[in-house]
Amino acid sequence: MQQAATNWWVEITTLSPRCIYYFGPFETNEEAKAAYPGYVKDLDGEGAKGIIVVIQRCQPKELTICEEDKI
């Protein structure tokens, strides 16, 4: 039986646009490390700025979370 939050996920935060993306799940930290450069390349190609990558064990409820500009 698999416990919640045992899978590895790549969490990528971008400052512009202000978003958090989750990619996964991966069975090992090494699989996540091998995969994340492709995600960063795609986001960079889409013009994202301020890219921060964190590899962690978690269970995201949403795969993409973006802050809407509220005025």
Mean of the pLDDT values across residues 16-28?
Answer: 97
Structural domain of 31: 8-66
Residues near 39 by Cβ (< 8 Å), separated by ≥ 6? 10, 12, 21, 23
31 domain-assigned: yes
Q: Write down the pLDDT at residue 6.
A: 85
Tens digits of residue pLDDT in 29-67: 999 999 999 999 999 999 999 999 999 999 999 999 998
Domain tally for the chain? 1
13 domain-assigned: yes
Long-range contacts of 29-32 (CB under 8 A, 24+ apart): 29/55, 32/8
1 domain-assigned: no
- 0.75 exceeded by pTM: yes
